[in-house]
Amino acid sequence: MINIAADSIDPAILKANLIPEIAANIGAIRDLRRDIHAYPELCFQELRTSDLVAEKLSEWGIPIHRGLGKTGVVGIIKAGSSGRAIGLRADMDALPMYEQNSFAHASRHPGKMHGCGHDGHTAMLLAAAQYLATRRDFDGTVYLIFQPAEEGGGGADEMIKDGLFELFPMQAVYGMHNWPELPAGQFAVSPGPVMASLNTFRIVIRGKGCHAALPHLGLDPVPVAAQLILALQTILTRNANPLDTGLISVTTVHVGDATNIIADTCELAGTVRTFSDQMLDLIETRMREISLYTCMAHGVTCNFEFNRRYPATVNHGQPAEVSRRVMSAIVGEQQVLEQKATMGAEDFAFMLQKLPGSYCFIGNGSGEHRIPGHGAGPCTLHNTSYDFNDDILPLGATYWVKLAEHCLSFG
């Protein structure tokens, strides 16, 4: 029997096959999560958070390794005699945004906020670590990967470059992210692409400035920029296969400082997202050509920069099926949904390029879980009113434990 008050947790979670010891410890897990939420740290600055993670792991007798990706922490839990090993990954960093919530655990650092739930991810993996270290009901090694800098810093790639998979050889690696609007008590996982690649571009159009009353004496970059913004969209409608998915977004336009001056330059910047390298190659090539020749046709020049930041997150078939089976045993098959691909990006993709694995979603609900003092906005990711759903902490931790025990079962 799970030793928790029925009115203290979402009924949908109570129906799940939670590990009793983890469920009974929900108060301590929640307090840990809220402490991390109150002291958010940006990418590669997760000093307090990584210290807290290292302190807890050491307290539970788990050997640790620090310094991969600057502030990353890896915990090592061994049991039995098998040489098999898997990795479980949680991200630790926060976002550069102002929190609008006023409850007690709201951010103490203005301009920094756990608006994506990485505080909850860290807490769930810590809860699983405590249980795994106590019971060790598996045969092999579980590597607990607490990763920095997911939010734009590519912390996963930095940990890999620092030798993550050489120092800690494993056969598979798994990740998990909370998902608002997916009801609490549900999971989603599927093989194949589940999150898009993230790529950024910058186009600087160079003309010749002049008085706004004498445009014939200059080369105005603004009309060129206007044509270029529209022309870039034809890549998706007239060059790419309409059955393939791609997204080109011009998100910033910077030009001029005065109304009576035609500026020398106009700068465009934005993002490109795809699920395949073939689509990405096509978009980058056509963007470069359209930028160059549109500018040339108007007598101006341009500098074109294209940066491939994060690859697409592509789940491997067998690990995704393993995740689905484990989830089904916890919440029932009907509560494990098909994972609908999103154009958001995730640097766990770098790990999946190196090893088999899967990246799943755990339902965070629609925001009804938020206590008084939350902001007026929705409880969506990267929103100033967001807060992680503490009710799902034991569910996520149970999944991590059951996954490790399944992958490293005896016999």
pLDDT digits (tens, 9 = 90+) for 279-317: 999 999 999 999 999 999 999 999 999 999 999 999 999
Looking at the predicted structure, is the pLDDT value of residue 223 above 70? yes
Q: Which two tokens stand for residue 84?
A: 């098999």
Looking at the predicted structure, is the pLDDT value of residue 7 above 80? no
Residue 313 main-chain phi, psi, to 5 deg: -90, 115
Cα 59 to chain centroid, rounded = 28
Q: Is 156 helix (H, G, I), strand (E, B) or coil?
A: helix
Nearest CA to 387 out of 164, 183, 106 is that of: 106
First to last CA, the chain: 29
Residue whose tokens read 């608006």:
115
pLDDT the model gives residue 12 = 82
pLDDT band at 224 (very low <50, low <70, confident <90, very high): very high
State the burial class of residue 237 (Cβ atoms within 10 Å of its Cβ: 0-12, 13-18, 19+). Answer: exposed
pLDDT the model gives residue 11 = 86
Looking at the predicted structure, is the pLDDT value of residue 1 above 50? no
Average pLDDT value for residue range 90-100: 98
Q: Is 207 helix (H, G, I), strand (E, B) or coil?
A: coil
- How many Å is the maximal CA-CA distance in the chain? 83
Query: Could you tell me which residue, 50 or 9, shows the higher pLDDT?
Result: 50
Looking at the predicted structure, is the pLDDT value of residue 8 above 90? no
pLDDT the model gives residue 5 = 45
Other beta carbons within 10 Å of 356: 18
Q: Which two tokens stand for residue 311?
A: 């690859």
Looking at the predicted structure, is the pLDDT value of residue 2 above 70? no
pLDDT band at 406 (very low <50, low <70, confident <90, very high): very high
Average pLDDT value for residue range 137-142: 98
* Helical axes 26-38 vs 393-407, angle rounded to 10°: 110
* Domains in the chain, CATH or no CATH each: 6-196+312-407 (3.40.630.10), 198-310 (3.30.70.360)
Q: What is the pLDDT of residues 198-209, one digit of tens each?
A: 999 999 999 999
Residue whose tokens read 């734009």:
152
Q: Is 314 helix (H, G, I), strand (E, B) or coil?
A: strand
